[in-house]
Amino acid sequence: MRLTPIAAVGLLLPLACVAQVSQGDPYAWLEDVDGAKALDWVRAQDAVAKGELEARPQFGPLHDRLLSIFNSNERIPYVEKQGAYYYNFWQDAQHVRGLWRRTTPEEYRKKDPAWETVLDLDALSASDKENWVWKGAQFCYPQRDRCLVSLSRGGGDSVIVREFDPAAKAFVKGGFELADAKSFVTWRNRDSLYVGTDFGPGSMTDSGYPLIVKEWSRGAPLAGARVVFEGAKTDVGTSAAVSDEPGFHREFIERGLTTWTSEHYLIEGAKPVRLDVPIDSRVDTFRDQFLVTLRTDWAAGGKTYPAGALIAIPWDKFLAGGRDFAVLFQPRPRVALAEAGSTRSHVIVNELDNVRNRLFVLTPKDDGTWERVPLAAPEFGTVSAEEVEPESDDYFLSVTDFLTPSSLYLGTLGSPERVLLKQLPAFFNAEGLEVSQHESVSKDGSRVPYFQVSRKGMPTDGSNPTLLYGYGGFEISLTAAYSASVGASWLEKGGVYVLANIRGGGEFGPSWHQAALKENRQRAYDDFISIAEDLIKRGMTAPRHLGIMGGSNGGLLMGVMITERPDLFGAVVCQSPLLDMRRYSHLLAGASWMGEYGDPDIPQQWAYISKYSPYQNAREGVKYPPILITTSTRDDRVHPGHARKMAALLEAQHHDVTYYENTEGGHSAGATNAERATMYALAYTFLDKELR
C-alpha cells in the first residue's frame, strides 16, 4: 500500500499570507494577491489578452471544440472501488462544479452505466453560496460507511474537511469537521483520526505545512486532542499515514526535513519509533513486508544497495535488527523504477526502460525469495497498473499513447484474461501521424531523449510549426499520453509536438534528477536548449516556427529560455510559473522547495541561483520572443506574484508580453471545464498566431 509523502500533500500557506516585500522591487505590490490595485492591474491585462486572442478567427471554434471534448460523455470515468461500489467524480456541461457519483462493478462494464449521485457540488455550492472545488474523499477502512470529504474554495490547496455518510448521502451532523486550512487528515479507525492543521500560532512550518500531528477522537474538541508528534518550524512539515491491508494495520509518522529528506517513524505504543532507513528514501508496506525505495546508495547488513533500487524485508526481521533485504528492482543504465504498487498477494513493479513502461509481478515465496514474472501489456505508450481494492488481486490496467486513445482494462493477477472496460474515442484525426524517439547531446555530452509526434514525410526545410514541451524537475517523468487538447489544437493542424525528457526529471531514476539539483540546475536548461538546437539541426523547424510551453517548474524553464536563449524560439507559453527566484522561498510554499533549487538567502547559493533567475535576468534592448504568461488568482502553491511581476517587468522593458490570470482553479488550468477550455484555447491561439 503506497504511503503519501508529506511533500506531495499540497498543504501550503494561506493566500493572505505574504512575506516581507523585498526593497527595491518596483512591482512588489503585485504580490498582494487580493489587493485592489493588483486586481485592477490583472483585470486590465486580462481584457487586453482576451481582446487580442479571442478576436482571432480560430479562437471561437477551437474553444468550442475543446469544451465539447472536456464535456464529452465518452470520456473514461475513472473509478475507485469502495465496498460494493465504483466511485467517480464527473464534470460536464450540466454539472459545472461536478458530481460525486457511484455505480456497481457490473453496471460499470456497460457502455452507458447508470450512475447514482452521492454528492452534487453545483447544488452544494448554491446552498452554501461558495464556489466549491472537489478535492477528494477518504473512506474509513474496512467499514467504508464514513468518509472525509475535502472541498476547496476556488481550487486552491487550502480545504475544508467534513465527515460524510455515503449511504445517507449527507454530511454527518456533529461529525469530524475541519475549517479552511492547509490540512492533512487520515483515518486511524472509525472513531479517531490523525490530523495536522492550523491549530493556532506556532502550529505551521515556514513552508506552510502542519508541524504537529494529533490524534483526534470522535466527540472530543480538536483543541484538546492528544499530540502524537511535533516537528520543527524549519521542517517542510509533518504528517501521519495509516496502512490498512487485510490482516495488517500499521501507522506511521513522516517528518519532512527538506524537499527530499524525511525521518520515518512507526507508531507503536505511546512513542513513535524511528525507522533506521536513509533519510532520502521512500518507505512503504506490503502485508508482512517492509519496502524501501532508495535515492542514494545504502550500505546495510554487509551489502550496498544501489540508488534507485526497491528492496524488501519482513517487518519482524527488520525491527529485530536484520538488514538482509531482497532486491525487488535493480536499476540499470537507462532503466528506472517508475512506480510500485500492490494487490492482496503481489507487488506490481513498473519499470521505465528508455522512457517506455514494462510491468512485472513479484510474489514472496516461503523460502524468503521472490518470484518475478512479466505482466503482459501492450508494447506501445505508457502503461500503469494499480490495485482495485486491498482484498483481492484484481487490478486496473491503463494504457495510453500519443496517438492511440487511452484504454482501461480490468484483470486479475494469475489469470491471463483481461476485460476492456472503457476506451476513449478518437478525439482528433491521427491519420498520417507518427511517433519517433530521438536524442540530443547536451552541453556536457549527456544524451537527452525526446519524443516527436509529427506527420509522416514532413519536409526538413525548417518550415514546420513545432511545440516543445518541458518540465525537468522534482523527479517527475514525462511519458507518452493521449492528449485530446494537443491533438485537436496542434497536431491535427499540421503542427509538430515534442516532449522533452531533460535532467531534473525521473526518467532514468534518482541520478537523472539529482544531476540538475541546486548548483547544477543549469544542466536541465542546457538539455532543453540542446533539444531545440537538435530540432533545428534536423530541419524539423526553425527558430521563428519553434514554440515552447511549460508550467510550474516548467514555467521557470520557460522564463530561463527567454532570458538565456531568446534567439532559439518564436513564441513562449509560460504557465503558473516560478520566476522570481530571489523571493520564491518567501512566497507561499516556496520554502519547501529549497532542497530542489537552494536557499537564495544564503549568499553562496544565491550566487548560482542568480545566474538563471528570470526576473533578475530580464533585460531591455534584447529581442525576446513573444510570451504568454498565465496563472490563477487562487493558486496558493506557486504565488501568482511570480507571473504578475514578470509580465509587468517585461512590459516596462518593451517586450512583447501577453498576460492572463484566471480567477480560480488553483495550480491548474481551471476549476471547471469551461475555464480549462478558455485557458487552452488562449494558449494555442497565441502559438498559432506567432509560429505560422
Question: Crossing angle of helices 36-54/641-652, nearest 10°?
Answer: 70
CB of 417 closer than 8 Å to CB of 493: no
Which amino acid is residue 217, in one-letter code? S
Q: Is 639 a catalytic residue?
A: no
Spatial distance between the Cα atoms of 254 and 252, rounded to a whole number of angstroms? 7
Best CA proximity match to 76, nearest among 88, 65, 68, 64: 88
Write the Ramachandran bin of 455: left for phi over 0, alpha for psi from -120 to 50, otherwise beta. Answer: beta
CB of 365 closer than 8 Å to CB of 371: yes
Spatial distance between the Cα atoms of 511 and 336, rounded to a whole number of angstroms? 10
End-to-end Cα separation, the chain, in angstroms: 49
**C-alpha grid cell for residue 60?**
471561437
> b/e for 430-439, b at 16 or more Cβ within 10 A?
beebebeeee
**What is the signed CA dihedral for 472, 433, 543, 527, rounded to 10 degrees?**
20
CB of 588 closer than 8 Å to CB of 12: yes
CB of 224 closer than 8 Å to CB of 609: no
Which amino acid is residue 1, in one-letter code? M
Annotated active-site residue in 454, 545, 667, 668: 667
**C-alpha grid cell for residue 240?**
501521519
CB of 465 closer than 8 Å to CB of 447: no
Annotated active-site residue in 483, 485, 489, 552: 552
Instruction: Please give the C-alpha separations between residue 49 and each of 35, 41, 56, 658, 682, in angstroms, as whole numbers.
Output: 21, 12, 11, 6, 8
CB of 664 closer than 8 Å to CB of 671: yes
DSSP state of 258: S
Which amino acid is residue 611, in one-letter code? K
Q: Is 152 a catalytic residue?
A: no
Residue owning grid cell 445517507: 168
Q: Percent helix, strand, coil in the chain (nearest 5)?
A: 25, 35, 45
Spatial distance between the Cα atoms of 278 and 633, rounded to a whole number of angstroms? 39
Spatial distance between the Cα atoms of 115 and 127, rounded to a whole number of angstroms? 23
**117 — phi, psi (to 5°)?**
-70, 130
CB of 359 closer than 8 Å to CB of 385: yes
Spatial distance between the Cα atoms of 183 and 333, rounded to a whole number of angstroms? 40
Which residues have CB under 8 Å from 11's CB, separation 6+? 157, 182, 183, 184, 196, 208, 209, 210, 237
Catalytic sites, residue numbers = 552, 667
